[in-house]
Amino acid sequence: MAGIARKNFDSPDETRPFEEGKGKLDLVNSDRGSVGRAVFEPGWQWSKHVKPIAGTESCQAAHVAYTVSGQMKIVMDDGESIEVGPGDFVTIAPGHDAWVLGDEPCVMLDWVGFVDYAKPA
């Protein structure tokens, strides 16, 4: 293990685009795990722009995430919901849908749920 390492999202190890050009996920990997930065464009919704890729009825990833910018609504399969915005740290269990609120992209960093996110089933 290296004593210090640097990665930059401007040169990610992997990029996964969402359907219809509604954003993308960039991943940087290290010997201590991966971190993802997703840019969800206005109009993005998991059930429209990731569900066709994932092949599940709702998002089955668990998330430990920080909202950098923009707004998003998250609705659990049981109906529980929350809106998140800049500065919000959120944990989300598997079994949810989500969508961007407003006209600004929502940018989120995730330390847990993006490793397999938007990968074909």
118 in a structural domain: no
On whether residue 76 sits in a domain, the answer given is: yes
In this model, does residue 32 exceed pLDDT 90? no
Q: What is the DSSP string of 97-114?
A: EEEEESSS-EEEEESSTT
What pLDDT was estimated at residue 113?
Answer: 87
- Split into its structural domains, the chain has a count of 1
Q: Which two tokens stand for residue 91?
A: 């944990």
* 1 Cβ contact partners less than 8 Å away, ≥ 6 residues apart: 31
Q: Is the pLDDT of residue 1 over 90?
A: no
Q: For 4-13, how does the pLDDT look when each residue is reduced to its tens digit (9 = 90+)?
A: 989 999 999 9
Structural domain for 27, as ranges: 14-110
Q: Give domain status of residue 7, yes or no.
A: no
Residue 2 is which amino acid? A
**CA terminus-to-terminus distance, the chain:** 32
In CATH, what number is assigned to the domain containing residue 88? Answer: 2.60.120.10
Q: Does some domain include residue 60?
A: yes
- Which regions of 5-105 does DSSP assign to beta strands (E)? 14-17, 23-30, 33-40, 63-69, 71-76, 81-84, 89-92, 96-101
